[in-house]
Amino acid sequence: MGRNAQMRRSAYAEPDDHRRPLIGSVAIHGAKNSVLPILAAALLCQSPCVLHNCPQIEDVATALSILRRLGCRVERQGSTIFVDPRGLYACEVPPELARKMRSSVIFLGALTARTGQAAVALPGGCPLGARPIDLHRMALEALGAETALDAGKITCRMKKSRPARITFPFPSVGATENAMLAAMGCRGTVVLENAAREPEIADLAGFLRSAGAEIRGIGSGTLTIEGGKPLHGTDYTILPDRIETATYLCAAAACGGDVTLRQTDGQTLLPVLDALRASGCAITESPGILRIRAEGRRTSPGRIVTRPYPGFPTDAQALMMAAALRAEGETVFVETIFEDRLRHTAELRKMGAEICVHASTAIVRGVPVLHGAAVQAGDLRGGAALVAAALSAEGNSQVLGVKHIKRGYDRLEENLKSLGAAIKTVEIS
């Protein structure tokens, strides 16, 4: 497929609605935000690792390319990835690969723990605003490393590793992950306070424990790590992707219908489920299964404020906005994590959405009907929100910038088709 593609939905009309409801069942893939740090963590093992439930997405392909360029042997068969890190010979992530995704910075902590030094170009990925790495550097320096930032590249050299108690001023997911990985190379006890609590952090900790690490406090804001222990290869299964789950839930809320999601965990998405229920969706849960039924026009879920876990996830903000565009009443979205994560609102307005943006707040006034339009995806989750909005609109839509969406979704087009959506991806010259 080309760098840009169009996703179309044929016009569909009923007496009081213009949407084609989504009906059917979809299996959720492994979590993008788990598999990427876990692939970096595989560098710390002294023998091969086998990872199951790995999504086939562009960011994972980039991470595998990084591992190969560092000297690892990597094989993939479907959703299973084999990583043999014993051939590692390099400590610098190739800049052209580092700039392709945000998560490339996670190799900093892993390489430092494994080789004593590392170099990573400042990460790329979605343009969500500034990407400060000060918390990453603070954590690494507390563990005894010297860091430097020059010409768009951060370098790290472990001078003398030491135990430490690190208190994060903000529960940064990336900084917590880098500190966890770097701590594996430090002899003694490392305590991380105000650490991120996201399920993906717990998944990384679960992988490290399965490889022989000693980590306490998993799931809490305080992680205690006994560093310096040799890690062995392990067989590990990645947890389900909660943001992929949120994507299909919000698409169903936007379009109406009856959708069952398998191989997922609703307990990791409670704020999203609460908001959807507040908007009038019926959601039922059973082990590994979520079912959403959306009938008639939805109502506003009220006020959505993004927070670190267990708050409303920033990655679901744009998706919930797509679900609220045609809801009765006014919905307020307050983005507290990324300063530039409301860029998708300008594209949604092209479809007839009524959205006013003031700094980090977006006010959505529901409209009866959206209309098809040509829109540009500028980031991963905003792009998925545009697809959901297009599926709920009257007429044909074109969503360009599919490269962003393909970074984080496995078989999105195929799954939506299986639910009844009229959607296709085509090359554009």
Q: Which two tokens stand for residue 308?
A: 């670190």
Please, what is the angle between helix 107-115 and helix 32-41, to 10°?
A: 20
Q: Quick one: which of 45, 53, 5, 23 has its CA closest to 265?
A: 53
Residue ending a domain, among 222, 237, 252, is: 237
- Are 385 and 253 found together in one domain? yes
- The number of folded domains in the chain is 2
33: Cα within 13 Å, side-chain hemisphere: 16
| Residues 140-168: tens digit of each pLDDT | 999 999 999 988 899 999 999 999 999 99
- Give the pLDDT score at 322: 98
d(CA 310, CA 416): 28
Q: Quick one: which of 226, 237, 181, 249 has its CA closest to 52?
A: 237
- Give the pLDDT score at 219: 97
Q: Which domain holds residue 16?
A: 5-28+240-427
Comparing 125 with 74, which gets the higher pLDDT? 74
Counting residues of the chain whose pLDDT is more than 90, the rounded percentage is: 88
- On average, the pLDDT of the chain sits at 92
| CATH classification at residue 109 | 3.65.10.10
Q: What is the mean pLDDT of residues 400-404?
A: 92
With a cut of 90, say whether residue 123 has pLDDT above it: no
With beta carbons less than 8 A apart as the criterion, state whether 397 and 9 touch. yes
| Residues 313-351: tens digit of each pLDDT | 999 999 999 999 999 999 999 999 988 889 999 999 999
- Are 9 and 71 found together in one domain? no
Q: What is the mean pLDDT of residues 121-132?
A: 60
Residue ending a domain, among 187, 215, 237, is: 237
Q: Quick one: which of 253, 281, 277, 292 has its CA closest to 389?
A: 253
| Residues 187-220: tens digit of each pLDDT | 999 999 999 999 999 999 999 999 999 999 999 9
- Give the pLDDT score at 124: 59
Least confident segment among 26-30, 85-89, 98-102, 419-423: 98-102
Residue ending a domain, among 187, 222, 237, is: 237
With a cut of 70, say whether residue 11 has pLDDT above it: no
Q: Quick one: which of 372, 380, 414 has its CA closest to 397?
A: 372
Q: What is the mean pLDDT of residues 80-104?
A: 95
- Are 271 and 140 found together in one domain? no
- Are 169 and 233 found together in one domain? yes
- Are 19 and 153 found together in one domain? no
- Are 157 and 36 found together in one domain? yes
Q: Quick one: which of 424, 426, 423 has its CA closest to 12?
A: 423
Q: What is the mean pLDDT of residues 278-303?
A: 96
- Are 248 and 224 found together in one domain? no
- Give the pLDDT score at 132: 67
- Give the pLDDT score at 58: 96
With a cut of 60, say whether residue 3 has pLDDT above it: no
pLDDT band for position 429 (50/70/90)? low
d(CA 421, CA 404): 20
Residue 87 φ then ψ, to 5° = -90, 10
- Are 378 and 312 found together in one domain? yes
- Are 275 and 202 found together in one domain? no
- Are 255 and 370 found together in one domain? yes
> Which sequence positions are flagged as catalytic?
126
For the chain, the distance separating the N- and C-terminal CA atoms, rounded to the nearest angstrom, is 11
- Are 105 and 131 found together in one domain? yes
With a cut of 50, say whether residue 387 has pLDDT above it: yes
Comparing 273 with 426, which gets the higher pLDDT? 273
- Are 357 and 272 found together in one domain? yes
- Give the pLDDT score at 19: 58
With a cut of 90, say whether residue 282 has pLDDT above it: yes
- Give the pLDDT score at 4: 36
